[in-house]
Amino acid sequence: MLLRFAPTAMLGASLILLAGFLEGRERIAAWAVALAIDYLGPTVVGMGRGWRVAPAHFAERHGLIILIALGESIIAIGVGAEFQLVAGVLVTAALGMVVVSAFWWLYFDVAAIFARRRLIHATGAERARLARDAYSYLHLPMVAGIVLFALGLRTTLHHVGDALHTVPAIALCGGAALYLLAHSAFLFRTTGRVFRRRTLGAVVLLALIPAALTIPSLASLALVSAVCSLVVAWEAIRYRESRVQVRHPELAD
C-alpha cells in the first residue's frame, strides 16, 4: 500500500523542497501544486484494503494539531500586543481570546467525540476513507482558518482604531468563516448531519468582510467574537442535555 502512495508523496515533497529555492509567485505556485498532489494522491490511488488506522490514536493526534494551532493564536496575541497595554489593545486581546476559546469549544466539546466514535465503529476500507476525508483532508482547512484568524488578529492589535486593509480583513473574518465551514464539513462527513448554526455563522462572517474594510478593526473583531459566541451559546443552551449524554454516556443508563 505504501508503494502505491510513493510517487505522489515523493513528487509533493520534491516540489516543497524546490519551493525553498524560489521566490514570490513561483514559490506560491510550487506550494499550490504540491498541496494539490498531496490532496489528490490518496483519492486517485484509493484507500482500499491493506491500509490500517488506529482510530483512537489517529483522532487524538489530529486533535493535538488543532490545539497547537490554537496555542499559536494565543502566542500571536502576546506578540501583537507587545508592551503597549493600553485599553484598546487589552480589549482586542480579550476579544481574541473569546474567539480562540469558541474555536476550542466547537471542536472539543462534542464534535471530536462524535468523530472519534464514528471512526472507531467504522471498519476496513471505510475506516481508512473516513480517516482520509475527515482528518487528513478537512483538518487542514480548519488549521488554515485558525492561522488566518491569528494573522488578522495580530494586525488588529497593531491598528486598533483603523479599518483593516483587504488581506487582514479577509484573514480576520474569512479565517473564522473557513474554520466554521471546514468544521461543518468535518461533522457532516463523520455524522452525516448538517450543523446549520455553524454553517450560518460562517456565512455571516463572510458577509462581514466588506464591513471590516470600513469600520475600526476593533469593531470588526467584536463582531467576529459576537458571531462565534452566539453559535457556542446557542448550542450550549439548546443542546445541553444531549451534550451531557455525549460526554458522559454512563449517565444515560
Which long-range contacts does 236-239 make (Cβ < 8 Å, 24+ apart)?
236/105, 236/109
Averaged pLDDT of the chain: 85
Could you tell me how far CA 30 lies from the centroid of its own chain? Answer: 23
Closest-CA residue to 2 (of 93, 112, 96, 128): 128
pLDDT band, residue 126 (cuts 50/70/90): confident
pLDDT 10s digits, 71-124: 988 888 877 666 666 787 888 889 999 999 999 999 998 888 888 989 998 888
Closest-CA residue to 105 (of 232, 193, 200): 232
Q: What is the pLDDT of residue 158?
A: 81
At 178 the three-state DSSP class reads helix
**Residue 104 and residue 141: Cα distance in Å, rounded?**
15
Could you tell me how far CA 230 lies from the centroid of its own chain? Answer: 18
35-56 average pLDDT score = 70
**Residue 145 and residue 40: Cα distance in Å, rounded?**
21
pLDDT: which is higher, 43 or 30: 30
Which residue(s) pair with 163 in the sheet? 216
pLDDT 10s digits, 221-252: 999 999 999 999 988 888 777 777 777 666 65
Which residue(s) pair with 216 in the sheet? 163
H-helix segments, 109-247: 111-121, 124-130, 139-158, 166-169, 175-191, 196-207, 209-212, 217-238, 240-247
Q: What is the pLDDT of residue 194?
A: 85
pLDDT: which is higher, 42 or 109: 109
Does pLDDT of 43 surpass 90?
A: no
pLDDT: which is higher, 89 or 141: 141
At 163 the three-state DSSP class reads strand
pLDDT band, residue 181 (cuts 50/70/90): very high
DSSP 208: T
